[in-house]
C-alpha cells in the first residue's frame, strides 16, 4: 500500500493511499504518533470508512510524526500495516512510502494481522 502524506497547515496533514486490492474491505484505519517505534497502544488512530484519504489535525507544529495505514475487512479484522512514513509537521512536500528524500525516513514494518 503506497501512502502519500502532505502538510496542509502547521498543525495538519493529509494522508492518502492506494485502495486495497482485496475484496470485502470495508474501510481503513490511519495511525499516527510522534515516534515510529512506539508501541501500537500509544498511537492515535482514525477510521476513514471506505475513503482512501483523510486529514489529521490538531498536531503539534515542528514535530516529527509517523503515519501508517491498514485495511479493515468485513469480518472486523485488520490487515497488515503499510510501511511507516515519518515527516515533520512543517515539511512542505508530498511524501510517499516509495520515496526516500533526505528529510523523510521510511521504515519498513512487517506485522501480522491481529
pLDDT tens digit string along 23-75? 889 999 999 998 888 898 999 999 999 999 999 999 888 788 889 999 999 99
Specify the pLDDT at position 43. 94
pTM above 0.85?
A: no
* SS3 state of residue 97: coil
Would you state the CATH architecture of domain 3-107? Sandwich (2.60)
Question: In the β-sheet with 94-96, what is the strand arrangement from edge to edge?
Answer: 53-56, 12-17, 3-9, 94-96
- All structural domains of the chain with their residue ranges: 3-107
Write the DSSP symbol of residue 78: B
- Beta-bridged to residue 102, according to DSSP, are none
Provide the phi-psi class of 49: left if phi over 0, else alpha when psi is between -120 and 50, else beta. Answer: left
Amino acid at each position: 500500500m503506497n501512502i502519500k502524506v502532505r502538510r496542509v497547515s502547521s498543525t495538519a496533514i493529509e494522508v492518502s493511499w492506494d485502495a486495497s486490492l482485496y475484496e470485502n474491505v470495508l474501510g481503513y484505519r490511519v495511525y499516527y504518533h510522534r515516534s515510529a517505534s512506539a508501541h501500537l497502544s500509544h498511537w492515535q488512530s482514525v477510521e476513514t470508512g471506505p475513503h482512501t484519504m483523510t486529514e489529521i489535525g490538531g498536531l503539534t507544529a515542528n514535530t516529527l510524526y509517523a503515519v501508517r495505514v491498514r485495511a479493515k475487512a468485513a469480518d472486523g479484522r485488520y490487515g497488515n500495516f503499510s510501511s511507516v512514513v515519518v515527516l515533520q509537521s512543517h515539511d512542505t512536500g508530498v511524501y510517499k512510502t516509495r520515496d526516500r528524500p533526505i528529510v523523510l525516513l521510511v521504515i519498513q514494518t512487517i506485522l501480522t494481522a491481529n
